[in-house]
Structure 1
């Protein structure tokens, strides 16, 4: 992989800040920014013509994204983000009173809240599977999830890679076992496109519903995501709003929402093209190694607790000392203090009275940024 200086000018990030939180919002490379700017300029030159031609252009973009994810375009719908995708999925599953929806305590907060609201509306129940931070691996995770499945379990909403803890949850074996038990499987794959080699293949990669963001690791503009749906489920997919494409079925009924900004979707293929040009596997190996180095620095110099990590993943989670970030307010305060005093952006989530700190690695990051964070974090936490 090329050295860091080879990628200078590829991003427009503030050089005065160590951006160590790519996993939350991503960063759009300059070539993709330019492509989106061209599309917006084109739209303003002839709004009528632009919107009249959008269905065909969206279909073309979807086909290019589908090819990058190893599936057919009729299995995908383009969306704004995973949160929207999960809302569509929950609206499309007919829950009966008394049925259960499984989640884990590693799930993304907004997704869990959406599940809880849907359960209340349907008279269903939410069962949360507790997965200890130090649980060794996928086999142990699957064992705990399957142990929670009962006769009334209707669906399971599981992360592929968990947001707060960077752990793999929804592995192929677990999805197959849930399907064998008649459980509808919903995979929150927010971090998968670009971060992992994705080959949805067959029917949505073994899940009934699979939702992934493109703006995090696939270099697409923000407000771009995909929903992959198994063939048996597509006819039942309900959009959150009805518009002119409703009668065309899936995916048009989900994608079309009037005068919204569709330029992130149209520019998303440029992000995949750039990733391929750079060498997707090389990028993943570089980022995974750098994230591992950063985690080692934080364990060795800042005294954070090491947690099980997905090999080669460009995100790592570490345990903060007890009392550091046990609440949402404490977590936000710590993130603000790290930015103010150490000039770095990180992610922190409360966890069992302590907290979890998550770092990411991308081409614009340098080893010395993690060393500086580790050197200053120990003093900040002690203070």
Structure 2
């Protein structure tokens, strides 16, 4: 089986970012990268704040936030009246967990593909409320039908209050069949929270037709927004039950205003987010998506080949639409969180390359992303130098 070919570079795209040219940034999925034009938009807004803070916060800010929310919700295929801006996906998860009113007879169900900070949030809320946290094991090679069946069997009607499932998983780059999972959960009367941290900007209209009770997604990754920009989407039946983590002056306005208004926080990231979508549209949304997915597949192929992993053994759990790919590391490497962090740091310091390394299911995995500022030779350089570094145990 031959290796995939890299896509044609998008001319001039690298110049849109202020990334250090001495480093290969192959991990866009963790913290993103903000285009220069979006940085400047946010700085102009910060200048506006400091020119007259009282005017900025007290004359029309709620309306500006509402306008921004409607713009972002339209891009995502979400109902603007059921969408709240928030600082990140894990904050949205915490809002949902706190609003459910869990008790000792309840359980929250997650999968072993979930994001670590979300699991920590679930555990904390379960400790506080006396509820139970249970984890479903989902094989990396499971088909969509098999995943749906695992969820079906794992639900406990009358006890499972919430199912948390990823739309696109962080450690394994797996695209989950969320619409089918939500349909199964609804048959059993179980609410579903979709963690879609990586979906905005990467997947087209990711909220549309999922049917989830709750959906959270970050705009700062694949939507080119400043960090601290995310959305929480809530189905109509739940909106009057949502409580913010901090009460402020818009509390009586109800959702989404009570979640969005957090006193004197920095709102400039949110107000700059439409500039990120403008950048994405200027490059061509479909063009960017196909480029990034193809580049990630190429990177996975060349790095996997350098580590002796046959193309047939390289996981492809996300399909062609996903701009993240994983490569299995040699046995015994990065099998714990500490080991994964240590290896990621070694790669960064010795190879001048930023990647993600995750410990999942007893094995270490290298995660590579594709973005418009990346080029094929960056993955090739990593492939040429990584085996020697890994051999130095």
Note if 1:116 corresponds to 2:123: yes
Cα distance 1:354–1:71, how it changes in 2: closer, same or farther (>3 A)?
closer
Of the candidates 287, 290, 298, which is equivalent to residue 293 of structure 1?
298
Per-residue deviation, 1:245: 0.5
2:273 alignment partner in structure 1: 268
Per-residue deviation, 1:7: 1.4
1:93 alignment partner in structure 2: 100
Task: Find the residue that maps to 1:350 and give its secondary structure.
Answer: strand
Cα distance 1:2–1:48, how it changes in 2: closer, same or farther (>3 A)?
farther
**CA distance, structure 1, for counterparts of residue 195 and residue 128 of structure 2:** 21
Task: Find the residue that maps to 1:9 and give its secondary structure.
Answer: helix
Task: Find the residue that maps to 2:227 and give its secondary structure.
Answer: coil
**CA distance, structure 2, for counterparts of residue 216 and residue 352 of structure 1:** 25
Deviates more, 1:240-249 or 1:161-170: 161-170
**CA distance, structure 2, for counterparts of residue 322 and residue 41 of structure 1:** 52
**CA distance, structure 1, for counterparts of residue 308 and residue 357 of structure 2:** 16
Deviates more, 1:259-268 or 1:270-279: 270-279
Is contact 1:221-1:267 (8 Å) kept? yes
Of the candidates 356, 361, 364, which is equivalent to residue 365 of structure 2?
356
Per-residue deviation, 1:341: 1.5
Is contact 2:85-2:229 (8 Å) kept? yes
Per-residue deviation, 1:378: 1.1
Per-residue deviation, 1:2: 6.4
Is contact 2:171-2:360 (8 Å) kept? no
Note if 1:329 corresponds to 2:338: yes
Task: Find the residue that maps to 1:8 and give its secondary structure.
Answer: helix
**CA distance, structure 2, for counterparts of residue 249 and residue 350 of structure 1:** 40
Report Cα offsets for 1:57-102 as digits up to 9, x if no partner.
1011111111111233211000000110000000111223122211
**CA distance, structure 2, for counterparts of residue 309 and residue 72 of structure 1:** 29
After the TM superposition, which segments of 4 or more aligned residues of structure 1 sit over 3 Å from their partners?
none
Per-residue deviation, 1:170: 4.6
**CA distance, structure 2, for counterparts of residue 2 and residue 316 of structure 1:** 19
**CA distance, structure 2, for counterparts of residue 101 and residue 199 of structure 1:** 24
Note if 1:308 corresponds to 2:284: no
2:50 alignment partner in structure 1: 44
TM-score, normalisation: structure 1: 0.96
**CA distance, structure 2, for counterparts of residue 91 and residue 269 of structure 1:** 29
1:75 alignment partner in structure 2: 82
TM-score, normalisation: structure 2: 0.94
Task: Find the residue that maps to 2:56 and give its secondary structure.
Answer: helix
Deviates more, 1:210-219 or 1:163-172: 163-172
1:145 alignment partner in structure 2: 151
1:379 alignment partner in structure 2: 388
Note if 1:207 corresponds to 2:215: no
How many pairs align? 380
Gaps of 5+ in 1: none
Of the candidates 33, 37, 40, which is equivalent to residue 34 of structure 1?
40
Deviates more, 1:271-280 or 1:188-197: 271-280
Cα distance 1:341–1:199, how it changes in 2: closer, same or farther (>3 A)?
closer
Cα distance 1:87–1:198, how it changes in 2: closer, same or farther (>3 A)?
same
**CA distance, structure 1, for counterparts of residue 369 and residue 278 of structure 2:** 22
**CA distance, structure 1, for counterparts of residue 273 and residue 52 of structure 2:** 22
**CA distance, structure 2, for counterparts of residue 251 and residue 106 of structure 1:** 29
